[in-house]
């Protein structure tokens, strides 16, 4: 799963997800364990250009007319694309996170850790703290 996140949104409003298992070319390349050459990368770009708008799932589809409108905001505001682990079953860890401070001198201090739980896919409903 690839998760797209618009920088200036909150509450998962700027999230969009792509289940790469739904993109046949990616599945085939993984099975064959193909080396990533320039030709393979070009082929992937072509495939993604064709299928992305059809396969992407917007977390808040009422905020954007379509994928192109979402991408305009993504490119204007900035964002990240993350690999997301498969959704876990209830009562299992879903998104363990660690907060820490890195001082200018390189000293690292652990602040805390927590696990997020979701009310809907990729929508944080709260956190469990130790």
Q: What SS3 state is found at 80?
A: strand
36: Cβ contacts below 8 Å, ≥ 6 apart = none
Q: What is the pLDDT of residues 50-72, one digit of tens each?
A: 888 888 888 888 888 888 898 89
pTM assigned to the model: 0.65
Could you give the CA distance from residue 22 to residue 55 in angstroms, rounded to a whole number? 7
Domain ranges of the chain: 2-83, 95-128
Cβ atoms within 10 Å, residue 27:
12
Q: Where residue 107 falls among pLDDT bands split at 50, 70, 90?
A: very high
Q: Where residue 120 falls among pLDDT bands split at 50, 70, 90?
A: low
Tokens linked to 99:
């907060």
Q: What is the mean pLDDT of residues 75-88?
A: 78
Q: Report percent pLDDT > 90 for the chain.
A: 3
pLDDT at residue 106 greater than cutoff 60: yes
User: Where is pLDDT greater, at 100 or 87?
Assistant: 100
- Report the relative pairing of strands 79-83 and 57-58 from DSSP bridges: unpaired
The pLDDT value given to residue 88: 53
Cβ atoms within 10 Å, residue 6:
22
């Amino acid at each position: 799963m690839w998760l797209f996140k618009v920088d200036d949104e909150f509450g998962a409003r700027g999230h969009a997800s792509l289940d790469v298992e739904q993109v046949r070319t990616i599945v085939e390349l993984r099975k064959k364990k193909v080396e990533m050459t320039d030709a393979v990368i070009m082929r992937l770009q072509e495939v993604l250009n064709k299928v992305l708008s059809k396969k992407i799932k917007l977390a808040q589809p009422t905020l954007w007319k379509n994928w192109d409108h979402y991408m305009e905001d993504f490119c204007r505001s900035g964002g990240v694309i993350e690999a997301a682990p498969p959704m876990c079953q209830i009562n299992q860890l879903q998104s363990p996170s660690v907060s820490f401070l890195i001082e200018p001198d390189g000293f690292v201090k652990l602040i805390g850790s927590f696990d997020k739980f979701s009310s809907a896919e990729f929508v944080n409903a709260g956190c469990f703290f130790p």
